[in-house]
Amino acid sequence: MITLTSIRTAMLIMTTAFIATGCSKPDAGPPPDPTKPSIDSVNFDTSAWSEKDKSRDAIEWDNSKADVLSLNFFNEKPSIPVKPKELKKLRDYYRTMISKAGGGLVSVDVMSVQNLPCIKTIFKVPQQPDGMTYVGSFTIPLADFSYVVKAKCTETGTTGIRDTMVMQDMMSSGKMKMGSFDGWAQDPYQPSFKGPALRNKSEDEKYDEKFPDHPLSRCRKILANVIATLKINDVVAKSAPFKGSR
């Protein structure tokens, strides 16, 4: 059973060591040294956002849809136990972590930005009494520090519209048997996995254009804009690469 405690646990994990790859608490401090990595070493387009808070190691923004965007700098070795290129192990790692917290995987991918291997994840966390919160993260891990951009988008108002409409369309077109839920929800990389919150057919990216205001569509769009406009300075780009914490 998904409880309020499990949801709070999921959000706590996702905002600290789980997806942030570190556990430092942001705090105020002296101006950063331009010759060393800092919160100002990474930036991206935030013209559609309003800054809420900024400290030495974190910046947070929000928008008119109550989405939350943040950038965190962790000045310590990332805690991810596998190398980014070990994609299956990476997905297994995140699956285990989020399922223990009551959520599930939507996607886990690795991509290169300025020749740096980066990790893009999207998780879903059930809300009470209904609806989903989607948390998308873009992690830039280096040998001795990391950056995490996180977008949190919450389902509000009437929930489940995307799921219902896609399911009805699939049934009417014969892609699903009427009244059958076989194959509707499953882990994207391990179909046999039985977890507390599984990705369903309606969460496929191809439906985002049809449901642009859905929180998952918003989450993907936010991450896409971050990646498209991301700028990493030379201090970070030339730092030693991350090779796993083990």
Q: Tell me: the pLDDT tens digits for 105-158?
A: 999 999 999 999 999 999 999 999 999 999 999 999 999 999 999 999 999 999
* Centroid of chain to Cα 37: 23
Residue 223: Cβ within 10 Å count: 20
Is pLDDT of 21 > 80? no
Q: Is the pLDDT of residue 7 over 90?
A: no
Indicate if the pLDDT at residue 17 is higher than 50: no
As a whole number, the mean pLDDT across the chain is 88
Token pair in block for residue 231: 């700028």
Q: Is the pLDDT of residue 38 over 80?
A: yes
> Measuring CA to CA, which residue among 14, 220, 221, 170 is closest to residue 103?
14
Residue 38 CA to residue 147 CA, distance in Å, equals 9
Asked if residue 185 is part of any domain, the answer here is no
- Please indicate, yes or no, if residue 115 is contained in any of the structural domains: yes
What residue type is 120 in one-letter code?
Answer: K
| Residue-range definition of the domain harbouring residue 148 | 4-158+194-199+210-237
pLDDT tens-digit series, residues 172-223: 998 888 777 888 999 999 999 999 999 999 999 999 999 999 999 999 999 9
Is 123 part of any domain? yes
Chain segment 163-181, per-residue pLDDT in tens? 999 999 999 998 888 777 8
**135 in Cβ contact with 115 (< 8 Å):** no
- Cβ atoms 117, 241 nearer than 8 A: yes
Asked if the structure places residue 18 within a domain, the reply is: yes
3-state secondary structure of 105: strand
183, part of any domain: no
Percent of the chain with pLDDT strictly greater than 90: 78
DSSP 118-139: EEEEEEEEE-SSS-EEEEEEEE
Classify residue 218 by its DSSP letter. Answer: H
Residue 181: predicted pLDDT:
83
**Residue-level pLDDT at 15:** 39
Please check the confidence at residue 56 and state whether its pLDDT lies above 90: yes
Say which residue the tokens 């950056």 belong to. 147
- Asked whether residue 171 is assigned to any structural domain, the reply reads no
Share of the chain above pLDDT 70, in %: 86
CATH number at residue 231: 3.40.1000.10
- The Cα-based distances of 21 to 136, 137, 141, 197, 211 in angstroms read 14, 11, 8, 23, 32
pLDDT computed for residue 29 by the predictor: 56
Residues with Cβ within 8 Å of residue 104, at least 6 apart in sequence: 98, 123, 124, 187, 195, 196, 197, 198, 199
Residue 77 lies in a domain: yes
Confidence of residue 243 (pLDDT cuts 50, 70, 90): confident
How far apart CA 46 and CA 4 sit, in angstroms, is 32
Q: Reduce the DSSP state of residue 232 to 3 states and report it.
A: strand
Distance, CA of 22 to CA of 148 (rounded, Å): 9
Does residue 225 lie in a domain region?
yes
The model's pTM: 0.87
What integer pLDDT is reported at residue 13 of this predicted model?
40
How many structural domains comprise the chain?
1
Q: Say which residues have a Cβ less than 8 Å from residue 4's Cβ, sequence separation at least 6.
A: 128
